[in-house]
Structure 1
Amino acid sequence: MIKEGTDLFVEDQGPVEPYRGKYAVKTPEIFKEVRAGWARAGLDPASPYLPMRVELELTTKCNDHCPSCGMGALPLSQGRTLSNGQIGFLLGQFASIGLPSLAITGGEPFTAWRALLALLNGARERSIDISKLTTNGIWGTQRRCGPVFDRLERAGFLDSKLFVPLLMLSIGEQTTPLDRIARILHHAVTHYTSRDLNVALSSLADPTTREHRVDDLISVYEAAYGAFPHDRVHSTMRVYLNNERLEGQARAERPGRTPVSKWMDRCFDCFRPTVGAYVLPTSLLKQDGCWYTCAAFNVPEKLAMGNLLRERARDVLTRANSSAYVARVRAGGGLKALHDVVPRAESSSTTGTSFCDSCTWLIDRHDEITGEKTGDPAAPVIPVSSLLSRISTAGGAR
């Protein structure tokens, strides 16, 4: 399979090759066209932060119950889905800022089938591409698989102008039978070319054993359909992280302790326009309207810059662009920029288990040192005490 990280195209760092990468684009002028869209919307294309994509949580409902769910999905009886009115309002807000693309996630979007179709149709009407649709593949039965693809196509899933849409299939802790995933993959690669549709597997490993289910899936696929289409299937190989949004969630104990300074030095600039292996900058919009300037798997709560169901997208962007933390990270090309604020001696003696944990700690230290406040004061913030088991210093827990 094609590994994540290949075919990386960063603005001002060489030409863009269309139809290359997991998040392939259809034009070599992608950055020029996106910036022109921002300008038409009345935004300053040189702003520190303007999203190329919003990761939209359509619903918090899910048919499954993954112990380490990164999005904090809820059972079908407890979760909530965006209404058609909310979907229309949000799409209007996205259009008002020249948003190029949406990624649809959940929960499980296919448990909110009517809302999903309304979102696809509405995005097409407003010329907003769907660059990704994530699912656990529950719909991949022999009876439903083909008809679901047909209905997605009629709703506009493939009608993108800038991005090749990606169907992302999650096979981590999910309990969807692998024969359904294999059937979806087979239908995708035999009915569509790589210029029509990309497909990928999000194989999130057990944090203790680091084992993935990809090999099991390949065996199931090859028993049913022959050789696995390695040339068509992209991958996302990661491990589960904790998520404090879901009360009582099972803690994912990830082995290893790395100094925060190393996470900082290795951090990629997630605010610089990038396509191919990723779509950056990417933001996260939760079903309750909270809008985050980062869509990482375990995005820090303090990167919530506002609520898009209560205020205008333009106003939230203004708040994000006035954030000293966001501006420093953007200007310095990643978390390493914060070495100018947080002493390296302190970040070297503090350990964390991920970029996200390190970012969370750095936001707190940045605000303590500078006296500034990152994020929306009205947004819920997870207390620092929740990080004690993952962030520690040589002198003890912080």
Structure 2
Amino acid sequence: MIKEGQHLFVEGRGPVVPYQGKYAVKVPDVFERVRARWAAAGVDTSAPYLPMRIEMELTTKCNDACPSCGMGALPLADGRTLTDGQISFLLRQFTAIGLPSIAITGGEPFTAPRALLRLISQARTAGIDISKLTTNGVWGTARRCGPEFERLEKAGFFGNALFVPLLMLSIGEQTTPLEDVARIIHHAVTHYSDRELNVAVSSLADPARRDHRMDALLAVYEAAYGAFPHERVHSTMRVYLVNERLEDQAAVHRPGTTPVAKWMDHCFDCFAPTVGAYVLPTSLLKQDGCWFSCAAFNVPDQLSFGNLLREPARTVLARANESAYVARVRAGGGLKALHGVVPAEFTQHTPCTSFCDSCALLIGQHDKATGETTGHPTTAVIPAHALLTRTRAAQTDGTPR
């Protein structure tokens, strides 16, 4: 399988080669075209942070119940999906800041098929690429697989101008039969070329055992279809992280012995325009509208700068660009820029478990040292399951509703 880090193209560091990498581009002048979009939208192209992509949580509904879900997905009965009006509103928001692309995630997007196809179709009309679609493969049954690809094609999933669309299949703790995942991969590589569609498999392992399901998937595929198409499938192999947004998440024992300073020194500049191995800068938009200036697996809450369902995207983007923390990280090429701000006594002697953990710790120390406050309190749309809980509580204690 193709390793994730291959074919990395960063703006200003040499030419871009089309059709190379997990997030391959279709044109060599992609950065020039993106900057032209920003300029046409009236966005300051010299700003420290301008997203090349928004990771968009279409729904919190999911057919599965992974104990370590990185997105905090909810059962089908409790989850919530963006409405038609919200989808249209958000796409207008994206157009207003010249956004080049979105990635669609959940929950499980295929539990909300009508909203999924509507989002793809309207994004296509707005001239916004779908750079990635993440799924657990629930639709990979013999009955659904082919027709779902046809629906995606009809909606315009393959009509990108800048990026080759990526279909990301997640097989960590998901219970989707590997036979169905293999069927999706086989259909993808036999019906579409690598100039039409990229395919990736995300295998997130339990930190205690570090066992990935990739080997099992390879065996299932080869038993059904023959040799696995290693030259077409990109791999993303990670270890599960603790997600503090999930109150009932299964305990994860992952002792942190690496000092913050080492994470800082090896941090990649997530705010530099990048394609190929990644699409950066990126951001995360939760289904409730809360917007984060990073789309990492466990993005720190302090990197939330507003709510795109309640206020203009320009306002939220401006907050991110007014952030001293964001500006310092961008100017210094990553977290290493904070060495001169956060005391060495802290960075050299405080252990943690990941880049995201180190970022959260550094934000706290940065704000303490500078007297600044990173992030912006966000007002989320109340999720359906919370409304139901409030209603039941009111009925029980007699509180007026």
TM-score relative to the length of structure 1? 0.94
2:341 is aligned to: 341
1:241 pairs with 2:226: no
What residue is the counterpart of 1:194 in the other structure?
194
1:329 aligns with 2:319: no
Q: Which residue in the other structure is 2:384 paired with?
A: none
Which residue of structure 2 lines up, in the alignment, with residue 386 of structure 1?
none
Equivalent in the alignment of 2:204: 204
Q: Residue by residue, what CA displacement relative to the aligned partner does 1:213-267 show, whole Å, maximum 9, x if unpaired?
A: 0010000000000000000000101011111112211132224421000000000
2:154: which partner in 1? 154
Superimposed CA distance per residue, residues 321-352 of structure 1 (whole angstroms, 9 cap, x where no aligned partner)? 00000000000000000111101221110010
Contact 1:306 1:379 in 2 (8 A): yes
| 1:115-152 per-position Cα deviation (integer Å, ceiling 9, x unaligned) | 10110011001000000000000100001000000000
3-state SS of 1:251 partner: coil
Specify the alignment match of 1:269 in structure 2.
269
Measured after TM superposition, the shift of residue 190 of structure 1 is 0.1
Contact map agreement 2:304 2:377 (CA 8 A) in 1: no
Deviation, structure 1 residue 157: 0.5
Q: How many residues align?
A: 380
Gaps of 5+ in 2: 381-401
- Residue 47 of structure 1: aligned partner: 47
Superposition pairs of residues 308-327 of structure 1, within 5 angstroms: 308-327=308-327
2:355 matched residue in structure 1: 355
Tell me the distance in 2 between the aligned counterparts of 1:256 and 1:369: 24
Name the counterpart of 2:307. Answer: 307
Between the aligned partners of 1:170 and 1:365, the Cα distance in structure 2 is: 35
* Alignment map for 1:366-377 (pairs within 5 Å): 366-377=366-377
Aligned partner of 2:251 in structure 1 is 251
The answer to whether the 8 Å contact 1:304/1:379 transfers is: no
Counterpart residue number, 2:141: 141
Q: Distance in 2 between matches of 1:56 and 1:251?
A: 27
1:85 aligns with 2:85: yes
Shift of 1:311: 0.3
In 2 relative to 1, CA 375–256 (structure 1 residues): closer, same or farther, beyond 3 Å? closer
Whether contact under 8 Å (2:121, 2:155) holds in the other structure is: yes
Query: Which residue of 2 is the match for residue 27 of structure 1?
Result: 27
Return the letter of the residue paired with 1:263: W
Q: Which residue of 2 aligns with 1:290?
A: 290
Tell me which amino acid in the other structure corresponds to 1:350: T
Is the Cα–Cα contact under 8 Å of residues 23 and 165 in structure 2 kept in the other structure?
Answer: yes
Superposition CA RMSD, Å: 0.9
Aligned pairs (5 A) from 1:111-150: 111-150=111-150
**1:181-201 per-position Cα deviation (integer Å, ceiling 9, x unaligned):** 000000000000000000000
Q: How do 1:102-113 and structure 2 match up within 5 A?
A: 102-113=102-113
Give yes or no for contact 1:56–1:103 (8 Å, CA) kept in 2.
yes
Q: Which amino acid aligns with 2:146?
A: G
Instruction: Give the Cα–Cα distance (whole angstroms) in 2 for the partners of residues 68 and 215 of structure 1.
Output: 21
Match of 1:37 in 2: 37
The 3-state SS of whatever aligns with 2:367 is helix
Structure 1 residue 80, shift from structure 2 partner: 0.6
Gaps of 5+ in 1: 381-398
CA pair 285-205 structure 1, distance change in 2 beyond 3 A: same
Quick one: distance in 1 between partners of 2:253 and 2:77?
Answer: 29
Q: Secondary structure at the match of 1:87?
A: helix
d(CA) in 2 for partners of 1:247 and 1:84?
30
The question of whether the paired residues in 1 share the 8 Å contact of 2:290 and 2:378 is answered with: no
Residue 42 of structure 1 aligns to a residue whose secondary structure is: coil
Distance 1:378 1:297 in 2: 19
The DSSP-based 3-state class of the residue aligned with 2:188 is: helix
Amino acid aligned to 2:94: F
SS in 2 for 1:86: helix
